[in-house]
Amino acid sequence: MSPLIPAHLIGMCLMSSSGCPADMRHISVHWFRKGLRLHDNPALLAALQDCTEIYPVFVLDPGVPNQAHASINCWRFLTGALKDLDCSLKKLNSRLFVLRGKPEEVFPRLFQRWKVTRLTFELDTEPYSQDQDEKVVKLAKQHNVEVIQKVSHTLFDTERIIAKNNGKPPLTFNRLQAVVQSLGAPEKPVPPPTLEDMKGVRTPCSEKDEESYKVPTLEELGLDPLSAGPELYPGGEQEALRRLDEHMKRTGWVCHFQKPETSPNALSPSTTVLSPYVRYGCLSVRTFWWRLTDVYQGRKHSQPPVSLHGQLLWREFFYTTSVGIPNFNRMEGNPICLQVDWDSNPEHLAAWREARTGFPFIDAIMTQLRQEGWIHHLARHAVACFLTRGDLWISWEEGQKVFEELLLDGDWALNAGNWQWLSASAFFHQYYRVYSPIAFGKKTDKSGEYIKKYLPILKKFPADYIYEPWKAPRSVQERAGCIVGKDYPRPIVDHEVVSKENMQRMKMAYSKRSKTFNESNGKAKGEKRKAASVVDMLMKKKVKVN
């Protein structure tokens, strides 16, 4: 546990800019979590109201799910974002205090040592965070600390969307879109605090505190910086806003953007790659939304679900369903998720995770993920389908864990929702539509330049064989300097065979659910009943709201 601020710095007699005694005003702690930014941070602005002392805090919580297993690329992004935030706060004559420990253990000490009267933070919808918040709010009440939570990580209050939808989460994008349209436009982002806002507000600290509460280095976190991949996406609010400005200047590209038409295997990203910045809150989703609105104004542009506005609404969709559906990141106990008897095959899972499946397109994608921490959404489709219903028949929960570890934008709600979608377990039910690990990549990269970049062992294979090197004659393999089975693995499955077998297994799983649904609705034997689609069944099935 990091030491707390020395007691001799507490209780300084200050006068506010309005001349009110300091003890009549608040000593505020603002708890940074995902909203690692100053712009559009209403909870931070609330902390500064009638405030004499402000302590911006970030807690490195060892209990955060999967954080201990996060990749070095993710840790580098986070520490970069924290350094950037600390720098921005120092320009306001404040600073960031980084502490370690569980929030329910850290905050009672802070409340006492700093004489805190107010705690503010951005609302977080993840189950773990909700549990922590409940504990912290209870402790704050015991210490007579006012608590203010603000919605700013999503476009709308997810609970409000659910309430507007008769107390149930919308299970289709169209329904989500209809509900949010009835709510009106998202709130406009609030401006960042200025030096004017900081008049009469201090952040007491000493030279000793500079070391005690500094942002830890990767080495101090027990990580080797040399093991990280190239830093293509540096963390931080300033980088996020720079990238946003850069993209918004491309008005034609923004207006004509359609997500399905972008390339999964372009050598440089064919999308914005702003998702990591939105995930950590370095970029406000509301700021993103309204900047797009400005660009669209008076121009013909694409529409949801494929437009950039549509991408933000997809995010809202999965956030809302994650709030309203119990056990959202698991198969068991999840009322909308297809129950599938997935195989347990550690060898196949490891081969997929470590990019040695023997299918170059799949292995190139997984290599990019491990090296850079980001892959195109269609590339995610390809490797997720391959792991689950397409080829390996391994649970989407296993893939979810790997993405949580490696993706810079591994957002809990989006990750769980998309894995259910791509495994045809929920939301998407056309299980017979399978991504080919061979043909799919060829559509946008016939010569295999993407494969050559991420799997240089295959770079000398001619285009005719680079997606299927095992089919190359021995002489071609020798000229390429890569013998399949020795220098590069053979395919771990026969795609043509297993994909057909898996379709039948999926069909059986759907049939079993249909039978269970009918029985649970009390259908008598022999009673005629109009066949319902799985989507119909899901829409009729009531989902308990947390």
Query: Which positions make up the binding site?
Result: 271-275, 311-318, 409-411
Kindly tell me the number of DSSP H helices and DSSP E strands found in the chain: 22, 5
Beta carbons of 461 and 472 less than 8 angstroms apart: yes
Annotated binding site for FAD: 271-275, 311-318, 409-411
Q: What is the DSSP string of 313-340?
A: HHHHHHHHHHHHSTTTT-STT-TTS---
Quote the DSSP letter at residue 356: -
Q: Which residue has the tokens 């939301």?
A: 427
Q: CA torsion sign, 303 to 308 to 309 to 310? A: positive
Alpha-carbon Rg of the chain, whole angstroms?
26
CB neighbour class for 521 (10 Å; exposed up to 12, middle 13-18, buried from 19): exposed
CB neighbour class for 13 (10 Å; exposed up to 12, middle 13-18, buried from 19): exposed
**Which amino acid, residue 181?**
Q
In degrees and rounded to multiples of 5, residue 361 shows phi and psi of -65, -45
409: how many CB neighbours lie within 10 A of its CB? 21
Helical residues (DSSP H) of 115-189, grouped into ranges: 127-142, 158-164, 173-183
Beta carbons of 412 and 402 less than 8 angstroms apart: no
Beta carbons of 320 and 162 less than 8 angstroms apart: yes
Q: Which residue has the tokens 């792991």?
A: 387
Query: Distance between CA atoms of 356 and 359, rounded to whole angstroms?
Result: 8
Beta carbons of 216 and 86 less than 8 angstroms apart: no
Q: Note the Cα 372 to chain centre separation in Å.
A: 16
Query: Distance between CA atoms of 469 and 361, rounded to whole angstroms?
Result: 11
What strands, in cross-sheet order, belong to the sheet with 97-100?
97-100, 51-60, 26-32, 118-122, 146-150
DSSP helix/strand/coil, 369: helix
